[in-house]
Structure 1
């Protein structure tokens, strides 16, 4: 079984939690960042957003910001280790799961299963970042089949007084509890032989590469709660031939809505297309690479091709259309399903990077795990 260990979280006090927590800084525009930094002195962005042309200086600045927040009480370390229960609610959706530490030894032994390749450059960069800052600000998202025992424990804990309970401007409500005892959670997890990484492959791989601490902070939710989308693939440049004719793509006279359940949508300078190849199989991102990206754009490795950018599949197609850059072709992949991902992972296989966009996404600065 995969171990799940309590830890003493570093977190904001109750009165400041809504002001401290933040989305990942890369999701903000320059204007939004300037506004947040200029109007909210408690935002965790003050820790994360360090301007420097040199990586080492930027990473050292993040560590100093973290230490400053500890010194002035914006962040406080719990006195005792806990497993935590975290609930996120937005737009009629509710995610409930447990926060704790998982072991890199279990990851190496195959008790924590990955399903996605990582980008090597990003993995190495994040390892250097972790070596300097000495903390995780966000957990790896792990999943498992629904377990009645875990659901019962979660329901009972939610009847007690939370540590944190706050809303954010995106309309989400975040609630955090300390689980009174770790044993019921650990006993339930002992029934399972493995856990699956839903999101956070780079965080897990970078932590293993660094090898400085034996544990990684993780958020465990059952697989029925996951919201899964694909990533839109944008590729710049002129293709060498007519990709649409090669796959029998049908021209559309209007913009489609949402992700296709099967097949692909695409957008180029000629307009929208739809195609559903007879030989299409999971993972669809591999089919797209083999049949279109490699032969028509000469892509050898998606992980290292600067012409490709990715956009989460939750971005609506009207926005995708409006933000298309010159000479860009965009491919919209079908809606993924967890049972396909799990089956693939059980076979020891990995999908290409940026094949799945999985929610919930946790905010930075709600709970941190610091080993330095």
Structure 2
């Protein structure tokens, strides 16, 4: 049984929301970032880049304290306002033919600990501690965890009824994405939504494993420091965006490796032949059409690699993932890449035209070989999470990507 709670969000004033909402900080190149900071005084980027005000680069605790100061200034200036009633927030993102409609709410660290909220990725303790320290200092969370749940008719009916009403926000950003948000604060409807979600057995983290792990660590630290801890404090919850499984889009990451680990091209192909049937495609761009099929670009030619299933040993859900197969048959034993997260010899790419980008990078000599595969499915993600297993890094690129600064959860 999943627990969700409404919360009193800090939100942009309606006339400023289109200027406040920003993409994730990592999505901006330096020129874009500087332009936004220079010409848009309302952007949420001013909060998370507080040193811009002083033309200074700041890090660590100094940055965290300045983030809090910029946040307080946005509140003082009326750019941000706090809702009077605890609310749920329905948020729709429209990208061409693709739309996703989900719910901003507070989810429970207890559910995270008890595996009601399920994970499929490992986290790095250093990053967990750093973000927990950040949350402790700034006192707010503006980055929701993206989670999915199995489609539920009762939940869908309630949500469909609410979005038939006039939205609180309705704006389009410069990347031609339409954003609409509805605030649900009627007590009867709020309770109806809470009750409906109690029928959901599990949430699955799609994006935000470090954010959820850091929120859990913050809750542990706060509980130890609070002699009057009751379990109802804000730090016992973290902001999430919940969407049905059908409204998530999953893309693959390609892998590019800088060298052949001392092997010649012929030696490398012979080694590959152990686990794969290899067909040369010349310079025709080849994208796999089935699971356990891979594309490879090497020395000016594309190849198709078909896994020899009688040779490869399927032992559990993880062993059936294409990213794991690629790691266990090629990247680790042949190319000598053991640490997929930190090895400087491997890089990752995603996107509609990434096979072309991969080809261009290899043709320029930046990499020696590249591999492509089909996206992992939501059923595979769930199977891994249910089995308590962990996917290799960069197994999935997931949309929607949420705007920062639309709803803020105060700790």
TM-score (structure 2 length as normaliser)? 0.84
Mapped pair 1:205 → 2:213: yes
Aligned 8 A contact 2:146 2:208 in 1: yes
Aligned 8 A contact 1:120 1:303 in 2: no
State the shift of 1:315 in Å.
5.2
State the shift of 1:54 in Å.
3.2
Distance in 1 (CA, whole Å) between partners of 2:361 and 2:170 is 36
Q: 1:292 aligns with which of 307, 330, 336?
A: 330
Q: Which residue of 1 aligns with 2:89?
A: 84
Q: Which residue of 2 aligns with 1:252?
A: 281
Mapped pair 1:267 → 2:297: yes
State the shift of 1:255 in Å.
4.9
SS in 2 for 1:80: coil
SS in 1 for 2:61: helix
Distance in 1 (CA, whole Å) between partners of 2:253 and 2:153 is 32
The superposition leaves residues 58-83 of structure 1 with CA deviations (integer Å, 9 ceiling, x where unpaired) of 23222222122112111111121101
State the shift of 1:313 in Å.
4.5
Question: Greater shift after overlay, 100-109 or 340-349?
Answer: 340-349
Distance in 2 (CA, whole Å) between partners of 1:146 and 1:33 is 38
Distance in 1 (CA, whole Å) between partners of 2:397 and 2:335 is 24
Aligned 8 A contact 2:254 2:354 in 1: no
Distance 1:243 1:65, change over 3 A: farther
Distance 1:116 1:259, change over 3 A: farther
Distance 1:133 1:261, change over 3 A: farther
Within-5 A mapping of 1:23-38: 23-38=23-38
Aligned 8 A contact 2:101 2:243 in 1: yes
Distance in 1 (CA, whole Å) between partners of 2:302 and 2:50 is 41
Q: Which residue of 1 aligns with 2:254?
A: 232
Distance in 2 (CA, whole Å) between partners of 1:271 and 1:278 is 22
Higher-Rg member (1/2): 2
TM-score (structure 1 length as normaliser)? 0.92
Distance 1:247 1:6, change over 3 A: same
Q: Which residue of 2 aligns with 1:2?
A: 2
State the shift of 1:45 in Å.
1.0
Q: Which residue of 1 aligns with 2:11?
A: 11
State the shift of 1:330 in Å.
2.7
Distance 1:227 1:261, change over 3 A: farther
Q: Where does structure 2 lack aligned partners over 5 or more consecutive residues?
A: 52-56, 223-234, 313-318
Q: Which residue of 1 aligns with 2:410?
A: 370
Q: Which residue of 1 aligns with 2:199?
A: 191
Aligned 8 A contact 1:243 1:292 in 2: no
Aligned 8 A contact 1:119 1:353 in 2: no
Within-5 A mapping of 1:314-333: 314=352, 316-323=354-361, 326-333=366-373
Q: Which residue of 1 aligns with 2:227?
A: none
Aligned 8 A contact 1:258 1:316 in 2: no
State the shift of 1:136 in Å.
1.7
Distance 1:61 1:328, change over 3 A: farther
Mapped pair 1:64 → 2:64: no
Distance in 2 (CA, whole Å) between partners of 1:61 and 1:308 is 36
The superposition leaves residues 142-168 of structure 1 with CA deviations (integer Å, 9 ceiling, x where unpaired) of 111111111111111011121111110
Q: Which residue of 1 aligns with 2:343?
A: 305
Distance 1:135 1:267, change over 3 A: farther
Distance 1:185 1:261, change over 3 A: farther
